[in-house]
Chains A and B, each alone.
Chain A
Amino acid sequence: MKITAVFENGVLTEERPGAVKPQQDLWNKKKGGLVVVECPQRIPCNPCNTSCPVSAIKTFSDINDVPEIDYDKCTGCGICVAVCPGLACFVIDLTFADGLALLKLPYEMLPLPEKGATVKCLDRTGKAVCDGKVENVAEPKKDKTKVVHVAVPIDKAHDVRAIRVV
């Protein structure tokens, strides 16, 4: 089975409108992290905007708009991670620990990871690229979408987008 990873089959391979990440200098020092949104298609959806407690995700003029973010406001709280129906929001904290980033990733599978456990960290194609340590398993909206906080090597922070419990 020859599987190519291209944008057309659901892998973000390059910068695009709607695939939003912070300026590196701000990101490097922002405690608690900042949100990364990978939503590069105009679809009718706005819960990221309407749920953001600090209005960091700018108000849409058309419900089909792709998200834009005011990174001066984002606190990395992760509410949008839990709310986004497309599971397209991720918080990345580059200040977590020396050499480690903390990712807050949406998770709706079984088994649930346990705090302290080591999990496989998967890139956008599902390839395991490193191990990560689960720091917390939250459920911000109490609606069964978990937000898993996982520490990964800082150089993998921009690749890891999912976990597999092993």
Chain B
Amino acid sequence: MYLSHISEEQKVIDVDLISAHPVLDYSHGAKVSFSFDGKSMEGFEGEPIAMALHANGVRVYRSTPEMRRPRGFFCAIGKCSSCFMVVDGVPNVRTCVTPLKKNMKVETQEGRGTIKLDGVA
């Protein structure tokens, strides 16, 4: 179940991938590293951020604005808002349909997130 090609120092949490399937053959994109709350992780380029996080054992993606309840993903088709995270500084990104890129900075979103207005052209 575990990705053997990730070296021990890189492996923050066990990576859960399906190693064999009776019907499906999986073809993955290139392996790239990204960060989650400052921790280095690996995932497949072009596949949704949420899937890469799940494979790395991450279940909590944000906390709600009022109750501070933990939220993970729910619908995985970009329709439910449960998986909003801060990606490269941008809040409320639908991580279940946003493709992972090399060196992406993914962060847990607290509440509604903040828009950084400085630096906007």
Contact = CB atoms under 8 A, between A and B. Distances in A.
A108 B23 CA distance: 7
A20 B18 CA distance: 38
Nearest to A107: B22
B20 interface: yes
Nearest to A143: B23
A144 B22 CA distance: 7
Interface of B is mostly: loop
A109 interface: yes
Interface residues of A, number: 5
Number of contact residues on B: which range applies? under 10
A110 interface: yes
Q: Most chain-A CB neighbours within 10 Å: which of B20, B21, B22, B23?
A: B22
Interface string B8-41: 0000000000001111000000000000000000
Contacts, number: 9
Contacts of A112: 22
Contacts of A108: 22-23
A143 to B, nearest CB: 9
Interface string A102-117: 0000001110100000
Contacts of B23: 108, 144
Contacts of B22: 108-110, 112, 144
Interface in A152-166: none
Contacts of A109: 22
Nearest to B20: A110
A147 to B, nearest CB: 13
Interface string A73-115: 0000000000000000000000000000000000011101000
A112 B21 CA distance: 11
Nearest to B18: A110
A149 B34 CA distance: 48
B19 to A, nearest CB: 10
A20 to B, nearest CB: 27
Interface string B34-62: 00000000000000000000000000000
9 contacts: A108-B22, A108-B23, A109-B22, A110-B20, A110-B21, A110-B22, A112-B22, A144-B22, A144-B23
Given A108-B22, A108-B23, A110-B21, 5 more contacts: A109-B22, A110-B20, A110-B22, A112-B22, A144-B22
